[in-house]
């Protein structure tokens, strides 16, 4: 089973992708995480990518398409993958279908997590991740069960993303509305889009997605 999770910054793409990964044994392909790793490498291209992320602007389609095409060719993706943050433009959506067809694969589900713009800044500003295992938390909506200890791995160091500030989040949101939301009709017209209510609790959103993946609900 292969799927993609779409939605604006803070919609819960990463949070839900981590849960789907655990429940269904799929590989999570977060383009944001891949790009942050590339930026940390400090190569010339890594530095350029880092500047775009820090400004809240999209990285070029050619880089993204090559990155995903190469990654889904790895053996671990044969058991199924969750794309988290890809595609983000019409060009990427079309290229994804083409590359999957070439590899004899297909996208089984396109899940849109919809949320109101007003909640996005609060979601983003309160986000933190475990340094050791990457598990995601929120100061208010999803704190670790034991303060400052990761539920998953017991790690005690947490990190906040450099692009998680109000100014950059607003630019990221603009990029979503201008460049990513326009791909929703591409999937809707092909009857592939399924929507979940991202304003519900994390557990409730997970249940909505599971209902779709388990085939007991159509939208």
Binding residues for ligand AP5, rule: CB under 6 A, are: 7, 9-15, 31-32, 35, 52-53, 56-59, 64, 85-86, 88, 92, 123-124, 126-127, 136-138, 141-142, 172, 198, 200-202, 205
Q: Three-class SS of residue 71?
A: helix
Q: Which of 13, 19, 123, 194 is catalytic?
A: 13
List, in sequence order, the alpha helices (H) in 143-214.
166-175, 184-189, 202-213
Active-site residue, 170 included: no
Judged by CB under 5 A, does residue 14 bind Mg ion?
A: yes
Minimum CB separation of residue 105 from ligand AP5 in Å reads 18
Confirm whether 172 is a catalytic residue. Answer: yes
Q: What's the min distance (Å) between Cβ of 125 and ligand AP5?
A: 9
H or E segment and range at residue 61: helix 61-71
Which residue is at the shortest CB distance from Mg ion? 14
For Mg ion, the closer of residues 71 and 94 by Cβ is 71
Distance CA 192, CA 1 (A): 14
How far apart, in whole angstroms, are the C-alpha atoms of residue 45 and residue 40?
A: 11
Residue 207 is among the residues annotated as catalytic for this protein: no
Residues in Cβ contact with 96 at an 8 Å cutoff, skipping those fewer than 6 apart: 4, 65, 68, 83, 86, 87, 107
21, 161, 170, 192: the catalytic one is: 161
When the beta carbons of 135 and 191 are compared against ligand AP5, the nearer one is: 135
Tokens for 76? 């671990």
Give, in order, the Cα–Cα distances in Å from 66 to each of 31, 72, 92, 109, 173: 12, 10, 10, 22, 24
Among Mg ion, ligand AP5, none, the one that 58 touches (CB under a kind-dependent 5 to 8 A) is ligand AP5
- The site for Mg ion (CB under 5 A) is made up of 13-14
């Amino acid at each position: 089973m292969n799927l993609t999770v779409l939605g604006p910054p803070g919609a819960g793409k990463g949070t839900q992708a981590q849960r789907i990964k655990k429940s269904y044994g799929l590989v999570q392909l977060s383009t944001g995480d891949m790009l942050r790793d590339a930026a940390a490498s400090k190569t010339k291209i890594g530095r350029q990518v880092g500047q775009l992320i820090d400004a809240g602007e999209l990285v070029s389609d050619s880089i993204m398409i090559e990155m995903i095409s190469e990654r889904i060719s790895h053996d671990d993706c044969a058991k199924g993958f969750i794309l988290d943050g890809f595609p983000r433009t019409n060009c990427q959506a079309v290229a994804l279908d083409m590359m999957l067809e070439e590899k004899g694969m297909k996208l089984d589900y396109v899940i849109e997590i919809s949320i109101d713009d007003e909640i996005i800044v609060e979601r983003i500003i309160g986000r933190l991740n475990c340094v050791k295992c990457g598990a995601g938390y929120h100061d208010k909506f999803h704190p670790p069960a034991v303060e400052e200890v990761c539920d998953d791995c017991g790690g005690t160091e947490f990190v906040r993303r450099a692009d998680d500030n109000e100014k950059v989040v607003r630019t990221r949101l603009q990029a979503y509305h201008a460049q990513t939301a326009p791909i929703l009709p591409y999937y809707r017209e092909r009857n592939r889009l399924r929507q979940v209510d991202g304003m519900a609790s994390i557990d409730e959103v997970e249940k909505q997605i599971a209902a779709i993946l388990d085939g007991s609900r159509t939208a």
